[in-house]
């Protein structure tokens, strides 16, 4: 599998990364089977495993620990912090207090002495980003993490964090992780160009749009549809948009001699800002259907035809990018005197 350099981190990463969210209570509960899936991905040339403390409340990190024994030095281990790990408001976010606790918990669950890439899972609008950067910088200096990045940050917060690092003399975010697929193209407008200007490595996730681009005949019976049935309802306004686009994309994939998932993964890989695309299989069969997307390079003609089906910078369902709505739009009290 081809490699790319992850921004200014200097780390060489595979063009496909293994997103581990589906291992544990949130997906595949069989630890031994999940380990086999991870090993299958590593044997195919994947060298990045991306997890998070919040995935199955730590269980996912424990599964990853089992899978990487004896192979850790060959891998780039990435995890995330920031989403709630309990009811206590102090067990979330980007405060120094929580970051120092969260990293120790992740190191223990992963059974490693350092984390290669530590990512802030979502923006924390209650904490000064300078506080977060200062804490993360201290973790780099202590050898507990090698680099750190953001996830689902809008362009203005990416810039604010870069400015804060320069102003305070802290280390800076070196990566950004964004949701990106044929159906969720919003990052193309501002996040990707901003990441390129600041030399950030970009990891993207959900290239199949949560299963919409999986090629399954009935999306309403999928694993994720059980928790968000309205999201996969083809009769809603956004469901109709996706269903119509899906038919055109499936025809295009067939014409190109590809499966729909291969087309979707190749599309995400094709953007020049993207360093690596996270795939998130639950089973070995799903993994086997996704890996060939690493070897597909789409022609300009195919990319132009995808643009005609879903215009650049457009999310067919704005609710897909669930972290993109800032508090100022969610809470009316912040808009009124």
Is 55 one of the annotated active-site residues of the chain? yes
Instruction: Say if residues 311 and 39 touch (Cβ distance below 8 Å).
Output: no
Are the C-beta atoms of residues 69 and 59 closer than 8 Å to each other? no
For 42, what's the count of Cα atoms within 13 Å in the CB-facing half-sphere?
22
What distance in Å separates the CA atoms of residue 67 and residue 179, rounded to the nearest whole number? 26
Mean pLDDT of 192-218: 96
Mean pLDDT of the chain: 96
Tell me how far apart the alpha carbons of residues 222 and 248 are, in angstroms, rounded to a whole number.
21
Instruction: Report the alpha-carbon distance of residue 205 to residue 22 in Å, rounded.
Output: 13
pLDDT tens digits for 261-286?
A: 999 999 999 999 999 999 999 999 99
**Structural domains counted in the chain:** 1
Rounded-to-integer distance, Cα 229 and Cα 290, Å: 24
Annotated catalytic residue within 55, 118, 180, 232: 55
Task: Give residue 221's pLDDT band: very low, low, confident or very high (50, 70, 90).
Answer: confident
pLDDT digits (tens, 9 = 90+) for 154-182: 999 999 999 999 999 999 999 999 999 99
The Cα–Cα gap between 239 and 311 comes to: 17
The residue-averaged pLDDT of 89-104 equals: 98
By residue range, what is the domain housing residue 249? 3-335
- Give 284's strand partners: none
d(CA 17, CA 49): 6
Q: Taking the model in full, what pTM does it have? A: 0.95
Query: How does residue 317 score in pLDDT terms, banded at 50, 70 and 90?
Result: very high
| Gap between the Cα atoms of 202 and 6, Å rounded | 7
* CB atoms near residue 97 (< 10 Å): 13
| pLDDT tier for residue 129 given thresholds of 50, 70 and 90 | very high
| pLDDT band at residue 324 under the 50/70/90 scheme | low
CATH of the domain at 186: 3.20.20.100
Write down the pLDDT at residue 133. Answer: 98
Plot region of 111 (φ>0 → left; ψ -120 to 50 → alpha; else → beta)? left
Question: What pLDDT was estimated at residue 222?
Answer: 72
Return the CA Rg of the chain: 19
Choose the weakest-confidence range: 148-162, 173-187, 197-211, 222-236.
222-236
The pLDDT score that the predictor gives to residue 323 is: 65
**Widest CA span in the chain:** 59
């Amino acid at each position: 599998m081809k490699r790319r350099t992850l921004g200014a981190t200097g780390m060489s990463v595979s063009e496909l990364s293994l997103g581990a969210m589906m291992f544990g209570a949130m997906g595949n509960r069989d630890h031994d089977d999940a380990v086999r899936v991870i090993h299958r991905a590593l044997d195919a040339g994947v060298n990045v495993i991306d997890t998070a403390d919040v995935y199955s409340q730590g269980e996912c990190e424990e599964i990853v620990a089992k899978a990487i024994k004896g192979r850790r030095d060959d891998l780039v281990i990435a995890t995330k912090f920031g989403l709630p790990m309990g009811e206590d408001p102090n067990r979330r976010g980007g405060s120094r207090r929580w970051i120092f606790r969260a990293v120790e918990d992740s190191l223990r669950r992963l059974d490693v002495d350092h984390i290669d890439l530590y990512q802030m899972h979502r923006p924390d609008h209650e904490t000064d980003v300078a506080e977060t950067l200062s804490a993360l910088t201290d973790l780099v200096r202590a050898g507990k993490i090698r680099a750190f990045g953001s996830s689902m940050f809008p362009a203005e917060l990416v810039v604010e964090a870069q400015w804060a690092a320069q102003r305070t003399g802290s280390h800076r975010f070196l990566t950004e992780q964004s949701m990106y697929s044929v159906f969720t193209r919003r990052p193309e407008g501002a996040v990707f160009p901003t990441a390129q200007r600041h030399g950030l490595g970009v990891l993207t996730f959900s290239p199949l749009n949560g299963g919409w681009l999986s090629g399954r005949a009935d999306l309403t019976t999928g694993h994720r549809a059980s928790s968000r049935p309205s999201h996969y309802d083809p009769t809603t306004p956004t469901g109709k948009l996706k269903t119509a686009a899906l038919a055109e994309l499936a025809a295009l994939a067939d014409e190109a001699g590809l499966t729909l998932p291969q087309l979707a993964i190749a599309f995400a890989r094709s953007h020049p800002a993207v360093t690596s695309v996270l795939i998130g299989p639950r089973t070995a069969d799903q993994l086997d259907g996704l890996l060939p997307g690493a070897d597909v390079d789409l022609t300009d003609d195919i990319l132009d035809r995808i643009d005609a089906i879903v215009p650049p910078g457009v999310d067919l369902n704005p609710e897909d990018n669930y972290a993109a709505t800032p508090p100022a739009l969610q809470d009316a009290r912040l808009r009124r005197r």
